[in-house]
A and B are shown apart, each in its own frame.
Chain A
């Protein structure tokens, strides 16, 4: 009878709050994919049991995946990436998570369980009458009640340079020569570039092309204001070296999959009553 009474009380005395965090994501512009790790939702519930002063209440908490929250996180990100599709990153835990409930002086490790959507935690702590009141006061004051932190790992797509080839900017002077004009530079460009590029090793043609493009974009500028009345004038425009103060380079970036650590940090400091 007493148990039944406690159960009924528990139903009417439940206090529940939750915390959500934004999803972590990586963008693959080549394939128009947003790879994302949806964050679990932290829920706590405070239940009044009144079995006795030592088992007066219970603090339930779970860090789990809620479909509607996950979907919302994905939509929030995708609205900034029109035409992209979401791809879920499979994650697993990296070690134990750390649970802290300052008002109870509690700090301990919890062992996340593997789940279909990622690691999750479910646990409960029984509260004495005094602890129950402290918990209620903390919630009412909006102070952090439960903190949980941990690290997940997942394999995510990352675009990064796989080849970087540089050449000194003195090549710009070689390309222009003395009294350079548009016409003379066009005439010199092929041979000078062929000689210069033959001294370098390229794994990817795209790196070579990027280097040529950087040279074209950053080596030259018009030496004076153009006054052109014919194509002959155009070709006779003087050019000079543009001072860019860095080496010229070509780069090739590719998508690679890398294992990355994804931190989780949650803190409940909201109040809500259900």
Chain B
């Protein structure tokens, strides 16, 4: 009960660190959400972003949303938001295990060595 309440009342104060999204590139009609990942792949997840996510282990859900939106922000000059969001989601789910209740556990998945 208390956990649930606490989570609900999170001042998502956030978190929604949509910094700079107000100047993002407008959506265009030829963006097929999720299918134009080739455009976004030119901006792979950087080592510093991976480090930031690893360091976020144990933080609240809102913090993780904030990190995600910062990653979106870093790509909006070159890509549309509708392309970036599914791309990042897919990439992050492939690289990390995440579980959030009150706080989030984030662990990098073991990648098979080539």
Contacts and interface: CB of A to CB of B under 8 A. Distances in A.
Interface of A: 182-183, 185-187, 189-191, 193-194, 197, 212-213, 216-235, 237, 239, 242
Contacts of B74: none
A16 to B, nearest CB: 60
B11 to A, nearest CB: 6
B16 A231 contact: no
Given A186-B69, A190-B22, A225-B101, A235 B89 contact: yes
19 contacts: A182-B16, A182-B68, A183-B85, A186-B16, A186-B81, A187-B27, A190-B76, A193-B22, A218-B13, A219-B16, A221-B11, A222-B12, A222-B61, A224-B7, A227-B100, A231-B68, A234-B61, A242-B11, A242-B12
B86 to A, nearest CB: 9
B110 to A, nearest CB: 17
A229 B85 contact: no
Contacts of A232: 89, 93
Nearest to A223: B8
A197 B15 CA distance: 21
Contact of B82 (A187, A219, A242): A187
Interface in B15-32: 15-19, 21-24, 26-27
A175 to B, nearest CB: 9
A231 B72 contact: no
B99 A229 contact: yes
A190 B21 contact: yes
A213 B61 CA distance: 19
A3 B24 CA distance: 92
B9 A194 contact: no
Nearest to A213: B19
A225 B16 contact: no
Greatest chain A CB density within 10 A among B3, B7, B12, B96 is at B12
A118 B13 CA distance: 49
A225 B14 contact: no
B4 A187 contact: no
B27 A191 contact: yes
B55 interface: no
A231 B76 contact: no
Contacts of A191: 26-27
A102 B61 CA distance: 69
B62 A187 contact: no
- 10 tightest A-B contacts by CB? A193-B22, A228-B100, A225-B7, A190-B24, A221-B12, A225-B4, A226-B61, A231-B92, A190-B21, A189-B21
